[in-house]
Amino acid sequence: MRIHIKNAMIVTMNTGDEPYEGDILIEEDRIAKMGVELREEADECINAHGMVAMPGLINTHQHSPMSLLRAFSDDLKLMDWLERKMLPAEDRMTPEDMYWGAKLAIAEMIKSGTTTFADMYVHMDQIAEAVSETGIRASLTRGLIGLEDDGGQRLAEGLKLIRRWSGQAEGRITTMMGPHAPYTCPPEFMKEVMGLAKDTGVPVHIHLAETVEETVKIKARYNCTPTQYLYELGLFEHHHVLLAHAVHLNREDVALLKGMKGGIAHNPVSNLKLGCGITPVLDMLGQGTIVGLGTDGAGSATTLDLFEEIKAAAWLQKLSTGNPAAFTAAQALQMATVNGAKLLNLEHETGTLEVGKKADIILLDMQKPHLQPIHQIESLLAYSINGADVDTTIVNGRVLMRGRHLLTIDEKEVLAQATVRGNRIVQGL
């Protein structure tokens, strides 16, 4: 299958590249050629005049089935939100609910320009099936809690996910080990998870210091910060690690992350909405630590539109420093593309538009009042675009959406299933 994208304004996200008007030729699942006025035979031609072609966005932290819990527990403090609403609702969710919740989330992500996401949840077979069917790319993780003895069931499920799904769905699925958080994973359990990650050769995906409450718990138990706790266990020394949130880090904590493999999944909208705080992104970037963007689950963030995270990330750093020049549009876009690819260990395949890389491409319709005139494309992409401006989404060389119409998902069926299942789950809570 050959697809010829013509007349697009191409934003490669490669350092030093300037946007240019040109063509992209896709052969099977990869970018075969890029240039001006390519003359190529193709099975499908997409006229992208008036559109921007850029790498698909990468959501580095998600809980996709929580899309069924969107906007039923807002405006609460985090522990009230979690204990009074989220946990009781999640207890009611069946494996089939997980499947349809994941499909709902994937539909939203495809329609808002996300081509790859990292997920941590339970019943991961159902989520993997949804990924396989819909054509999106994903890094999947079974969340692991080690506070009680379950006979090794959770660890077994985590290993099953890795062994069954790594490299499946035309290579679109990768996997990680997923210890939930320092406060839910005691040292011996963490060491066991780390050993399994090393044995299977996969990264580690873990929440870190999302709330003040977590830092208090870890200080009381181990007389250190959550970051120091993981550092002293050797997690950063021996593993590629995806740290979700990392809000409450002091300067010493930030310094401990220098040189680590992997980095931070920054979730600004969720952190803002739950009043958690502001991640010290500029301090991390300043020492070379990779920072990408995530939405967290729709149960907290409400939206899975990664363009909203791009805006929020930039605004927060400008506000926290009092300096509008401290954090740029280009930095925010890098976090949502190339940095995300690095966090998921996929930078050799996606995150930028380059010949030989996977054809994970989105086309943005710029012929709209809020996107004209075009003075600086990067500024428009960071501060003006929203997910509804995505016209076409391509993953692995396959068109998943064109003209805002989903091609691999029956949107009406997903919405109907979401309504019935979502209402049942939250009834009476």
- Which amino acid is located at 416 in the chain? A
Binding residues for Zn(2+) are 61, 63, 207, 296
- CA distances to 233, 298, 421 from 95, rounded to whole Å, are 34, 18, 12
CA distance 393 to 111: 7
CA distance 63 to 409: 19
DSSP string, 270-305: HHHHTT-----HHHHHHTT-EEEE----HHHHS---
The 3-state DSSP class for residue 241 equals strand
Q: Is the peptide bond before 182 cis (omega within 30 degrees of 0)?
A: no
- Which amino acid is located at 286 in the chain? G
Binding residues are 61, 63, 90, 142, 154, 180, 207, 210, 296
The 3-state DSSP class for residue 311 equals helix
- Return the structure tokens found at 363: 């086309």
Residue 116: closest CA among 98, 99, 134, 97: 134
- Which amino acid is located at 13 in the chain? M
Tokens 């790498």 belong to residue: 55
The 3-state DSSP class for residue 53 equals strand
Binding residues for substrate are 90, 142, 154, 180, 210, 296
Ramachandran quadrant class, 28 (left: phi over 0; alpha: psi -120 to 50; beta: rest):
left
Give yes or no for a contact between 275 and 78, defined as CB atoms under 8 angstroms apart.
yes
- Return the structure tokens found at 155: 């660890």
Tokens 């359990």 belong to residue: 189
